[in-house]
């Protein structure tokens, strides 16, 4: 007698598994623990076999019958439904999306959360909707190029290049795990025009630098933000490194800020020699935040650093537009000016923690140049003081409401 929804719903577990048949080989098995599982009993090549059709109530009686009928149709064509399912699963596991997710899971453990989010957004927005369901070994260079050109067409050429790089890593992972024969991104070299280099807005003219420094000293917003603004030109680290600075990283006696590798873009430890002016800022700041973890904690929670937009927002409130000055611009300011002041380029580059592509220069850089870097950082701080004192006029930029 066929099953009904009421009958299935009222089935109770027994001491041993029980089976209740619906017809056509379909039955529901109730386990002692209470689980109810749909099964299909059938014969293929003279052998009795079983096929799992899902778990009740997620799979209803009606849905189970539909799955039974699909399996019967395959049997009528001489196809074993169990083998067909295995083949389908194998094909699905070899799609670009499946292999990308596998690659992502293996690598995301060692990435910063922000990097993981960026990679995920780039692939999910630009590649997976068009190529995600395709078997990775079937994707041709032309198909991939067509997809990347969609990104390029909206003016995001740099994003197109970065997405291509991620795709290359996924394809090479597929090759290494035996699911693709080659990486088609190799055939796309030169197919996408180079991205126009973007530079962060920065002030590099001495008179304007002095005006900016005086504006920072007169900043009317948060005291913590003002100290971050004052420290930024003296250390010229990346904005993310500045806002995440921790008191434990500072050795006041040695006048050094030692940034651990995991916080650095190039994943190598970095030393920032501290001029006397930088040490004075730390001394002023310590009574306010020294008992906590971060030099510049978030206003909402001392357990987190200030947000990534805080310094830029403060510059905007001082009247500096995004095309005039940014938090990252302090690095360009120091790099440009120190080169003009004839400091050793290797010393400047090492202090900026730039990647060194020249092997000879890279080997030289491993010596750290610390003595000369100390002299440079103090001379730089003194130079900034001189610029700040060079005019007593109030800068033209008018401060807006406090941050």
**Cα–chain center distance at 143:** 26
* Strand order across the beta sheet in which 250-251 lies: 250-251, 256-259, 270-273
User: DSSP string spanning 342-370?
Assistant: T--HHHHHHHHT-----HHHHHHHTTTTH
Catalytic site residue from 179, 214, 331, 373: 331
| 364 in catalytic set | yes
How many residues are given for the chain? 403
Give the span between the Cα atoms of 179 and 171, in whole angstroms. 9
Q: How many helices (H) and strands (E) does the chain have?
A: 17, 7
Q: Residue 175: helix, strand or coil by DSSP?
A: helix
Query: Is 331 a residue of the active site?
Result: yes
Q: Are 314 and 243 in contact (CB under 8 A)?
A: no
Q: Which of 226, 328, 350, 397 is catalytic?
A: 328
77 is catalytic: no
Q: Is the peptide bond before 215 cis (omega within 30 degrees of 0)?
A: no
Q: How far apart are CA 325 and CA 239, in angstroms?
A: 13
354 catalytic residue (yes or no):
yes
The contacts of residue 54 (CB under 8 Å, 6+ apart) are 37, 38, 63, 64, 67
| Active-site annotation holder among 19, 110, 154, 265 | 265
Cα–Cα distance between 152 and 154 in angstroms, integer?
5
Selecting among 49, 150, 293, 354, the annotated active-site residue is 354
Which residues, 6+ apart, have CB-to-CB distance to 58 below 8 Å?
none
The yes-or-no answer on residue 27 being catalytic is no
- From 67, 97, 164, 238, the catalytic residue: 238
Report the C-alpha gap between 366 and 371 in whole angstroms: 13
Among 258, 364, 389, 400, the active-site one is 364
Question: Nearest CA to 82 among 99, 63, 67?
Answer: 67
User: Of 347, 382, 352, whose CA–CA distance to 365 is shortest?
Assistant: 347
**Active site annotation includes 214:** no
Instruction: Please give the structure tokens belonging to residue 322.
Output: 């995004």
- The residues annotated as belonging to the active site are 238, 265, 328, 331, 354, 364
């Amino acid at each position: 007698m066929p099953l009904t929804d009421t009958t299935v719903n009222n089935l109770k577990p027994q001491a041993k598994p029980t089976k209740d048949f619906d017809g056509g080989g379909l039955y529901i098995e109730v386990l002692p623990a209470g689980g109810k599982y749909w099964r299909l009993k059938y014969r293929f090549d003279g052998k009795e076999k079983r096929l799992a059709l899902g778990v009740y109530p997620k799979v209803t009686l009606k849905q189970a019958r539909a799955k039974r009928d699909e399996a019967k149709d395959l049997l009528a064509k001489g196809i074993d439904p169990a083998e067909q399912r295995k083949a389908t699963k194998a094909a699905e596991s070899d799609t670009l999306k499946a292999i990308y997710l596998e690659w992502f899971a293996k690598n995301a453990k060692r990435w910063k959360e922000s990097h993981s989010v960026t990679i995920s957004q780039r692939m999910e927005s630009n590649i997976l909707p068009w190529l995600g369901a395709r078997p990775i070994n079937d994707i041709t260079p032309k198909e991939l190029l067509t997809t990347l050109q969609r990104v390029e067409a909206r003016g995001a050429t740099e994003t197109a290049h970065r997405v291509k790089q991620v795709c290359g890593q996924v394809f090479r992972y597929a090759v290494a795990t035996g699911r693709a024969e080659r990486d088609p991104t190799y055939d796309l070299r030169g197919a996408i025009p180079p991205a126009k280099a973007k530079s962060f807005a920065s002030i590099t003219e001495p008179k304007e630098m002095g005006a900016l420094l005086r504006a920072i000293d007169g900043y009317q917003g948060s005291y913590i933000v003002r100290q971050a603004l004052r420290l930024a030109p003296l250390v010229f680290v990346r904005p993310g490194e500045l806002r995440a600075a921790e008191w434990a990283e500072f050795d006041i006696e040695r006048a050094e800020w030692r940034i651990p590798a995991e916080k650095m873009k190039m994943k190598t430890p970095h030393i920032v020699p501290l001029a006397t002016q930088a040490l004075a800022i730390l001394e002023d700041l310590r009574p306010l935040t020294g008992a906590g973890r971060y030099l510049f904690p978030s206003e909402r929670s001392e357990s987190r650093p200030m947000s990534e937009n805080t310094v830029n927002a403060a510059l905007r409130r001082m009247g500096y537009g995004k095309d005039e000055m940014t938090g990252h611009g302090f690095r360009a300011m120091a790099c440009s000016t120190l080169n003009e002041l004839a400091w050793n380029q290797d010393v400047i580059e090492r202090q900026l923690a730039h990647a060194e592509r020249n092997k000879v220069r890279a080997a030289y850089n491993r010596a750290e140049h610390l003595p000369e870097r100390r002299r440079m950082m103090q001379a730089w701080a003194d130079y900034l003081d001189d610029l700040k004192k060079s005019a007593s006029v109030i800068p033209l930029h008018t401060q807006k409401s406090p941050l």
